[in-house]
C-alpha cells in the first residue's frame, strides 16, 4: 500500500461497543469519527490512516476488542483517499467555528470574519491542510474556550503549544497577548502548515514553529520555563509527557490538556498529580475533555 498518502478505514459495530473499538485502534490513526447509521442501528467508525497501513495489525486489534465483548470481529473496509480531496471537503460549505471570543474560519468566510471582528471577535483564518486542528473538533474547541476563560483574568508571557497541528491554538495565544508562542509538533507537515497559517494571519513575528517529538528538540528546553503549556494530543502521549511538561513549567504556571476522552480522565490526571499538578478546571464537550491544571 505504499502508493497512497492517506487511507480511510471503516467498521460497523453495535452502539455500546463504540468506545472499546475506538480505544482498540490506538494511536496509529490520524483522525477517528463515529456515527449512528440509523436509529437503533449499528454505528460506523471511520478512521483516517497514514500510508503505509498495517492492515493485519489493525484487524488483529479490532478482533481482540470484539472477542473481549463476545462479538464477531467486524469487517474492515479500506479505501485510498484521493490526494487533497478530504482537505477541500473539510472547508466547503462549513460555517465558522465560534468558541468564546474566537472565530475560526476558512478563506470562504473572510467577509463574515471581518464583521465579527468589528463586534469584538478574535478571528483566525486556518487552513488545516493535512494537519489536525481547524477548530471543529471538540478538543480544539475546548482548548479555545479554556484560553478565552484564562485570558480574562491573566496575561501569559511565554506560552508553548505542544502538538500544535495546524497552529490554531498558537495563533490564538499570539492574538491574545502579542507574545512569542513556541509551536511544536512531531509532524513536519504540521510545522509547515502552522508556519503558513501564522503568515496568513500576520502573526509570524510571534509564532515560532519547531519540529520536535515532545521536548526532544533542545530549543524547547532552552526556552523553558513556560508559564502556559497547551497540549492537545492523545491520552497516552499526555501521560508519557507528564514529567517533561511539569519540568518545563514555570512556578505558578498553567497547563491545558486535551485530546482525552471522558473515560480517560482519572488516569491522565493521576499522571500529572504525581508531578505536583492539580485540577483547576474541567470542560467536557461530547465525550472529550479539556483539563486545566496548576501546581
Tell me the CATH number at 177: 3.40.50.150
pLDDT at 86: 47
pLDDT at 122: 86
Contact yes or no for 125/156 (Cβ under 8 A): no
Count the Cβ atoms, other than its own, within 10 Å of residue 288. Answer: 19
Q: Is residue 99 part of a domain?
A: no
Q: Are residues 140 and 267 in the same domain?
A: yes
Q: Is residue 114 part of a domain?
A: no
Q: Are residues 163 and 266 in the same domain?
A: yes
- What are the pLDDT digits (tens) for 10-38? 999 998 888 888 888 876 677 777 777 87
Q: Is residue 1 part of a domain?
A: no
What is the 3 state secondary structure string of 21-55? HHHHCCCCCCEEEEEECCCCCCEEEEEEEECCCCH
pLDDT at residue 2 is higher than 90: no
Q: Are residues 283 and 188 in the same domain?
A: yes
- What domain count does the chain have? 2
Q: Is residue 217 part of a domain?
A: yes
Please name the helix (run of DSSP H) or strand (run of DSSP E) that holds residue 257, with its range, or none: strand 249-261
pLDDT at 105: 82
Compute the average pLDDT of residues 200-210.
95
Q: Is residue 184 part of a domain?
A: yes
- What are the pLDDT digits (tens) for 106-149? 777 777 777 777 778 888 888 655 545 556 678 888 999 999 99
Q: Are residues 67 and 165 in the same domain?
A: no
Can you tell me the distance from the alpha carbon of 70 to that of 99, in angstroms, rounded to the nearest whole number?
Answer: 41
Q: Are residues 144 and 280 in the same domain?
A: yes
Q: Is residue 100 part of a domain?
A: no
Burial bucket for residue 45 (CB in 10 Å: 0-12, 13-18, 19+) = buried
Q: Are residues 160 and 208 in the same domain?
A: yes
Q: Is residue 243 part of a domain?
A: yes
Domain that holds residue 287: 123-294
Contact yes or no for 169/232 (Cβ under 8 A): yes
Contact yes or no for 51/95 (Cβ under 8 A): no
Q: Are residues 79 and 128 in the same domain?
A: no
Q: Are residues 143 and 288 in the same domain?
A: yes
pLDDT at 243: 97
Cell digits of residue 217: 528538540
Question: Among 83, 110, 145, which residue terminates a domain?
Answer: 83
Q: Give pTM, 2 decimals.
A: 0.68
Q: Are residues 207 and 159 in the same domain?
A: yes
Q: Are residues 48 and 148 in the same domain?
A: no
Q: Is residue 95 part of a domain?
A: no
- What are the pLDDT digits (tens) for 240-251? 999 999 999 999
Tell me the CATH number at 63: 3.30.70.100
**Mean pLDDT estimate for the chain:** 86
pLDDT at 229: 98
pLDDT category, 89, cuts 50, 70, 90?
low
Q: What share of the chain has pLDDT > 70, as a percent?
A: 90
Q: Are residues 36 and 178 in the same domain?
A: no
- What are the pLDDT digits (tens) for 35-79? 778 777 889 888 888 888 889 989 999 999 999 999 999 999 998
Question: Among 30, 55, 83, which residue terminates a domain?
Answer: 83
Question: Among 28, 63, 83, which residue terminates a domain?
Answer: 83
pLDDT at residue 88 is higher than 90: no
Q: Are residues 154 and 231 in the same domain?
A: yes
Can you tell me the distance from the alpha carbon of 25 to that of 27, in angstroms, rounded to the nearest whole number?
Answer: 7
Amino acid at each position: 500500500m505504499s502508493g497512497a498518502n492517506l487511507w480511510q478505514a471503516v467498521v460497523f459495530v453495535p452502539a455500546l461497543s463504540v468506545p472499546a473499538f475506538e480505544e482498540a485502534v490506538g494511536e496509529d490513526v490520524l483522525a477517528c469519527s463515529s456515527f449512528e447509521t440509523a436509529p437503533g442501528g449499528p454505528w460506523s467508525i471511520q478512521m483516517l490512516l497514514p500510508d503505509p497501513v498495517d492492515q493485519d495489525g489493525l484487524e488483529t486489534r479490532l478482533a481482540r476488542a470484539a472477542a473481549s465483548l463476545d462479538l464477531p470481529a467486524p469487517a474492515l473496509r479500506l479505501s485510498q483517499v484521493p490526494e487533497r480531496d478530504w482537505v477541500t471537503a473539510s472547508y466547503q460549505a462549513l460555517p465558522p467555528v465560534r468558541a468564546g471570543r474566537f472565530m475560526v474560519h476558512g478563506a470562504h468566510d473572510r467577509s463574515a470574519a471581518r464583521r465579527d471582528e468589528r463586534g469584538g471577535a478574535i478571528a483566525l483564518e486556518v487552513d488545516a491542510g493535512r494537519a489536525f486542528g481547524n477548530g471543529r473538533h471538540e478538543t480544539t474547541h475546548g482548548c479555545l474556550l479554556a484560553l478565552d476563560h484564562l485570558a480574562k483574568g491573566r496575561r501569559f508571557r511565554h506560552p508553548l503549544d505542544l502538538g500544535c497541528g495546524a497552529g490554531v491554538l498558537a495563533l490564538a495565544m499570539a492574538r491574545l497577548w502579542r507574545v512569542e508562542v513556541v509551536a511544536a509538533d512531531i509532524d513536519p507537515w504540521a510545522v509547515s502548515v502552522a508556519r503558513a497559517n501564522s503568515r496568513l494571519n500576520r502573526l509570524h513575528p510571534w509564532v515560532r514553529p519547531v519540529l520536535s517529538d515532545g521536548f526532544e528538540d533542545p530549543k524547547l528546553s532552552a526556552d523553558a520555563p513556560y508559564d502556559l503549556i497547551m497540549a492537545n494530543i492523545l491520552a497516552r502521549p499526555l501521560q508519557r509527557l507528564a514529567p517533561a511538561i511539569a519540568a518545563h513549567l514555570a512556578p505558578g504556571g498553567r497547563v491545558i490538556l486535551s485530546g482525552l476522552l471522558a473515560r480517560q480522565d482519572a488516569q491522565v490526571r493521576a499522571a500529572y498529580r504525581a508531578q505536583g499538578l492539580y485540577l483547576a478546571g474541567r470542560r467536557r464537550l461530547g465525550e472529550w475533555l479539556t483539563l486545566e491544571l496548576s501546581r
